Structure formats: structure tokens, C-alpha cells
Structure 1
Amino acid sequence: EVDPSYREVAGGGTNHTEVVQVVYDSTEVSYDRLLRVYWHNVDPFDGTGQFCDRGSQYRPAIFAHNNRQYQRAQESKETVAAQFDQDIAVQVQSLDAFYAAEKYHQNYYKKNPRDYKRYRTGCGRDARLREIWGENAMTDASLSR
């Protein structure tokens, strides 16, 4: 389906993945740094969703805009994989299309800070990230342990 609504994607019937598109200035922050932040904010072992959000629409994935991003993302995945005895479920793919969610769902964490904090705590997100990443959870620290 072309340009599905947020509700359609969240419902799981479109075969799309809910993602964020990061627009950045490469003179201010590197793609590698963004990758480090990404890894330290996901459970890389859970390919069926993240935390309370279950289903293929919530699978962890990195969608690359070009070959260089794809290569760097794949290399970062290999670096992460070398640190663990479990398979890494994060998929690295080329971006075919991006459909922005409706305005009401964008920047949810800013618009609904209490609900988002409750989600993070109630779903065990922060605790699980600390279990996986230790003091590097939710940071841009090096991927090497």
C-alpha cells in the first residue's frame, strides 16, 4: 500500500515497518555516531518487535539511503555481532520509500512525555537496554566493549 496511515501500519496489516527518519548535518554529527546511538537504544536480539511493541511492523531495522550508509550499517552490525553469543535480529536494508506518519504521531515523546516515560518504564525498555548494553545503554559510546 502506498502512503499508509500510522494506524494502518501499527495494525500490522500493511507489511510496512514503523521507523524514524533521521535528518542530520554530517558536519555536526557522523553517520557512525548515529549508528552507535541506534544500537544502544534497541534490543538487537528481538526480531519480532521491541519491548511492548510486538509484530513485524515493530521489527528492528536500519534503512540505508545509499550504498555507503548500507555498508557502514552492515559493518556496525558485524561489530555488534562479534560482542554477543546470540544472533543479531536487526535487518539492514536499502530504503525504497518513506511515508511520514500523521502529525499527531510525530515527536510523540515530546508531545506526551508522561505517557512516553510510563511506556519506557512499564515495558521494561530502559532496564532491558541496561541489561544488554550496561553503562553504554542509550548513549553514543563505542560499540566495542
Structure 2
Amino acid sequence: MAVEKAIFAGGCFWCMVKPFDTWEGVHNVISGYTGGQVENPTYEQVKTGETGHYEAVEITFDPEIISYDTILDLYWKQIDPTDAGGQFHDRGSQYRAAIFHTTPEQKEKAQQSKEKLAESGIFKKPIVTEILPATRFYPAEEYHQDFYKKEKEVYEKDRTKSGRDDFIETHWNVMTEN
């Protein structure tokens, strides 16, 4: 079985795990850090916004069961692609949205999906989510992994407070589940 990896930043990584974790063909979703200049960063370092890292998720998936195109579509529907300063109530460079491509095919598909979104007219402002080459991905500390399962009440309270679900429902016209 061949697997691929996809790496996405979309604000707080706690909120980026569950939307992918429950899909058939997704083997693993890991919270972590990527894109910065510090080796083996810690959460305490990254949250300062001074390491250059993004909070991100690394998704391991079987492309025979779930396509990268489907994963891209899921990704766009989790973020505000017009916000360059963070996501929802999480502000700062560590919370920016970005797609990190691991192959030339992923880069091409990500660019095509971004263009399609820009042409869709869903958003009045420009789509500013960057498409960047993947760099080393560092898994976050264990207590961040599967946070939505481990700390359900904290996760749900934080997610509600963030405004993410209201935004998703308004802009994507979908009912959301925490």
C-alpha cells in the first residue's frame, strides 16, 4: 500500500486534526510545526511567533482511497483563505494558513485548487493562503496530539470561542460538527 503525506497550516492545529482524522483512507493526522528556522522547536518557542514555524498538521493518507484533491477541498473548508494574519481568534505568524507541497503534483493541484477558489466568487477579498515547498515537519508534544479526543470539553469551548465554525457555516453553507 502506497501512502502519501500532505501538510497544511490552518491556525490552531487542534482544530485541524478532526476534519481529516475521520475520513476513510486517512491513516494518521499529526499536529506539529513546519516552515521555521529552529531545529526541534517546542510549543513554547513556536507560540512566540519568533521561530518562523507554522502550527500545522501532517496527514498520512492512501491516495487509492482518498485523493489529494479531496483532502485539498476539505482543507479549504476549514480556514479563512483571505486572512494573512492568522486564523480566527488565533493571531500571529504561527497561525497563518498555508499548503506545504511534498511533490510537484501536489504543488500543481494546490495551485489549481487555489485558482478555482479565487474564481468561485465565494470570497470578496483575495485568497492569500500561500503554497510553499514542504520543509521538515516536527511533531508537537504528545499532549497536543488528538487533542479533540483527549480534552473534548476544552477543545469544544476553544473551537466555539474561535469563531471558526460560524465562519465555515456562513461561507461554505455547511453545517459543522465540533
Counterpart in the other structure of 1:142:
none
Task: Indicate whether 1:112 and 2:151 are aligned.
Answer: yes
Q: Deviations over 1:42-76 (max 9, x none)?
A: 11111111112110110000001111001101110
CA 76–137 in structure 1, closer or farther in 2 if over 3 Å, else same: farther
> Structure 2: any 5+ residue segments left out of the alignment?
1-37
User: Using the alignment, how far apart are the partners of 2:133 and 2:170 within structure 1?
Assistant: 30
Q: Which deviates further from its counterpart, 16-25 or 79-88?
A: 79-88
How many equivalent residue pairs? 138
Partner Cα separation in structure 2 for residue 43 and residue 65 of structure 1: 23
Taking structure 2 as the reference length, the TM-score comes to 0.74
Runs of 4+ in 1 over 2 A off after TM superposition: 135-138
TM-score by length of 1: 0.89
Identity %: 41
Gaps of 5+ in 1: 139-145
Cα drift, residue 129 of structure 1:
1.1
> In structure 2, how many angstroms separate the alpha carbons of the residues matched to 1:107 and 1:51?
21
8 Å Cα contact 1:40-1:137 kept in structure 2: no
- Aligned partners of 1:52, 1:107: CA distance in 2, in Å? 21
Map 1:91-130 → 2, pairs under 5 A = 91-130=130-169
Aligned-partner SS, 2:52: coil
Q: What secondary structure sits across from 2:132 in the alignment?
A: strand
Q: RMSD of aligned C-alpha atoms?
A: 1.4
